[in-house]
Structure 1
């Protein structure tokens, strides 16, 4: 009998055991989140300041649900980064299944936001409510990334609670290997959405 496992319930230990997943310790594995990032304009900074203000205002009246995070924080970032324009396409609530050989198991879930170029998966985004820990969201995002139908290409991910952001890179060639960026947060005095946008712009440049 085939066992269906929801992606939101998987952990890193499960992915390591079932898919041979390993975390890279090399800085050279994922330079895209810190190396030669594009600058952003003063107008973009002003807009991001407003996005941060809007989010912090929402936080005063919990609960902050996933759809609010997408509307208030994620959508403006994707727009500024150029992911709403050619050559990119966005898919939402994309269903995925990963069959695990010799285990009679299927991992199943829905990707919140998937950035595509033609048929190539480029960027998987998992958005959670504001009280959610990114440590719980990262295995779910990686599970979706493992379902990439073109595993010969690197794929990137981003998990966000609106307050916090973290980026992921996954390569599936001889083995499945991933790395994480630092975590960026709106709980600091400086607006770390500036850095998040710079990373998203870098990804849009190298993926287009």
Structure 2
């Protein structure tokens, strides 16, 4: 990490700490204060990646649980140069945000449902659930049934783990930009 990135990461933590000190932080504020700045630092705003915000998804039926979930994912990063079909771009990272008072794992069912949708069109996708403090990454792979692997939880307010968070996001971005 560069010195600039470390300074920016410290600023993101300090800004978020200020908001946390006064009350619970809403999903929208979490995206503005932490998620969007982290994505910018990691390179997700640069070509060929494009960010979509709060896109609706079609009904998804998960046969083994007889569940139908409708909703909107919070943030989606796609690779605009790689198409999975004539109308669908390659999904890189799906993000589900929760307010700071919610345990980050509560966002996992929504995140997995949204990410599951794309496995019909591509072999894998990354997912990220966050409440601003905690960051839980999942790697989903196509299969019968599809599988996912949870990465160790990272924490924005802990200096070393926040550095790891940014490094992981940069690595995901770099892998997708190179492909």
Q: Same fold (TM over 0.5)?
A: yes
Residues 72 and 43 of structure 1: CA distance in aligned 2, closer, same or farther (over 3 Å): same
Deviation at 1:86, TM superposition (A): 0.3
Deviation at 1:109, TM superposition (A): 1.4
Give the TM-score taking structure 2 as reference length: 0.87
Deviation at 1:175, TM superposition (A): 2.3
Instruction: Indicate the residue corresponding to 2:118 in structure 1.
Output: 148
Deviations 1:84-109 (A, max 9, x none): 11001111111112134598753211
SS in 1 for 2:173: helix
Farther off after superposition, 172-181 or 146-155: 146-155
SS in 2 for 1:84: coil
Runs (4+) of structure 1 exceeding 4 A deviation are 100-105
- Picking from 66, 86, 99, the partner of 1:129 is 99
SS in 1 for 2:22: coil
Query: What is the root-mean-square deviation of aligned Cα atoms in Å?
Result: 1.8
Measure the CA separation in 1 of the matches of 2:95 and 2:60. 18
Instruction: Indicate the residue corresponding to 1:4 in structure 2.
Output: none
Instruction: Indicate the residue corresponding to 1:60 in structure 2.
Output: 21
Deviations 1:16-53 (A, max 9, x none): xxxxxxxxxxxxxxxxxxxxxxxx11111011001101
What is the 5 A alignment of 1:35-114? 40-96=1-57, 97-100=59-62, 106-114=68-76
Residues 191 and 51 of structure 1: CA distance in aligned 2, closer, same or farther (over 3 Å): farther
What is the 5 A alignment of 1:5-20? none
SS in 2 for 1:182: coil
Deviation at 1:149, TM superposition (A): 5.9
SS in 2 for 1:63: coil
Deviation at 1:145, TM superposition (A): 0.5
Instruction: Indicate the residue corresponding to 1:207 in structure 2.
Output: 176
- Picking from 131, 134, 141, the partner of 1:161 is 131
Aligned length: 168
The structure whose RCO (Cα within 8 Å, separation 6+) is larger is 1
Structure 2 alignment gaps of length 5 or more: 81-88
Structure 1 alignment gaps of length 5 or more: 1-39
Residues 59 and 174 of structure 1: CA distance in aligned 2, closer, same or farther (over 3 Å): same
Measure the CA separation in 2 of the matches of 1:102 and 1:177. 14
Residues 191 and 67 of structure 1: CA distance in aligned 2, closer, same or farther (over 3 Å): farther
